[in-house]
Amino acid sequence: MAILAECPFCHRRQTVKSKRCVSKNGRGCGADLEKARRSGKVKYWIAYRLPGGKQRFEKLTGENAGSIEYAKAADAKRKVQKSENRILDIKPESKMTFQEITDWYLRLEKVKAMAYFPTLQVYLKKFNAEFGRVIVGQIKAANLENLQAKRKAEGLADSTVDQELAAARVVINKGFDNDLVSGDTLKAFKKVKKLLKRNANARDKIITLEQFSALLDSDKLPIHTRGILATAFYTGMRKGEILSLIWPKVDMKNRVIRLEAEDTKDREPRTVPICQELHAILMTIPRAVHDDHVFLYKGQPVRDIRTGLKEACKDAGIDYGRKLQDGFVFHDLRHCFNTYMRKAGVAESVIMRMTGHSSREMFDRYNRVDEQDMKNAVAQMGTFLASVDQNVDYGSK
């Protein structure tokens, strides 16, 4: 067993006798550790071996984490526990059930503020039906893989199974960050691979302007759904952002929708321009006296539009549903917005800002490059080559 000092600058762990940050192999930032200790910037670790010989490093936390006396006391405690064969008591997850750590996680204010919170609760409730009474440290990778197989046998989609385990994994990650579980438990949850291959569920369905017009003009489309579809097609906003939209967020004079951080999935405020076509449609929607929601049905905020959309798609000759190959669903309108904006020559950075895509990877998933794009690219190259001065020797300096 030993006490180690962590350099506050490069975070390298080394013996407490070191006056400067230099490890055995000569590496280190050379920081003055003596000075750092006096100012309380050095943090301490204790190292010991678990039954079976596996070494564990435990970082000391709390207001006394920078005290060598506190580190010595913690090291002495571990020595006693080891001598009394109680070394496993060091692991907090040796007594905590998964339901208990779930309850702790769901009480965190930052977690409760997430837009994903209601869905997270559903998946964690399902996971706890299987493992809620199990001690956290006793859940192994094999147990989680068995759960995957069980869920598949129940007929659940790969993405659904992955989301349940992802919900459990995020609890374990947070627990590890707060010293509630050890690296061994974290490793068990991380070791289990996702069933769904990367981007396997990515959609690339794009409907034409003619199809969209036919959809809006369909007699089967409920009147309250028309504005919702138009908002999705002309702004790229998410379904949840649209259904929860209220009139105070809609600036018809300046033709923008101003979303606050609490309105968006990524918790980032966003300003969405209103084009002429959408402006004309929004102008036809009456404002209720008793409710600020833009989209109402029988005086209540709209919650679901699938039934009406399905009938309208059938009337417009558009295949509907995820289970059909190339079938259309509401979320595809977000793909349409990304793709048509890109085709119109709008800079990708501007599109990402408007749609709330924080990464290029996610933007690419929503931006479809089709056969016509490739034909246009070849035509552009041909135009370029035709304009090149044939007398220029590009091989010479």
For the stretch 286-316, pLDDT in tens is 999 899 999 999 999 998 899 999 999 999 9
> Comparing C-alpha atoms, which of 98, 87, 159, 108 is closest to residue 129?
98
User: What pLDDT does 176 receive?
Assistant: 86
User: What pLDDT does 394 receive?
Assistant: 41
**Residue bearing tokens 């506050």:** 8
- Is the pTM higher than 0.95? no
User: What pLDDT does 112 receive?
Assistant: 86
User: What pLDDT does 392 receive?
Assistant: 44
Containing 333, the helix (H) or strand (E) segment is helix 332-343
> Cα angle vertex 392, ends 390, 397, to 5°?
155
> Comparing C-alpha atoms, which of 327, 330, 308 is closest to residue 319?
327
Per the CB < 8 A criterion, the answer to whether 334 and 242 are in contact is: no
DSSP 88: G
User: What pLDDT does 23 receive?
Assistant: 63
User: What pLDDT does 373 receive?
Assistant: 53
Sites in the chain below the pLDDT cut of 50:
88, 199-200, 390-397
Going along the chain from its start, the domains and CATH numbers come out as 2-88 (no CATH), 94-191 (1.10.150.130), 209-374 (1.10.443.10)
- Determine phi and psi for 256, rounding to 5 degrees: -145, 155
CA separation for the pair 18, 342 (Å, rounded)? 58
Per the CB < 8 A criterion, the answer to whether 16 and 5 are in contact is: yes
User: What pLDDT does 120 receive?
Assistant: 92
**DSSP state string for 112-173:** HTSTTHHHHHHHHHHHHHHHTTSBGGG--HHHHHHHHHHHHHTT--HHHHHHHHHHHHHHHH
DSSP 327: -
> Comparing C-alpha atoms, which of 134, 161, 139, 157 is closest to residue 148?
161
The predicted-structure confidence for 68-110, as pLDDT tens digits, reads as follows 998 898 888 878 777 766 554 555 556 789 999 999 999 998 8
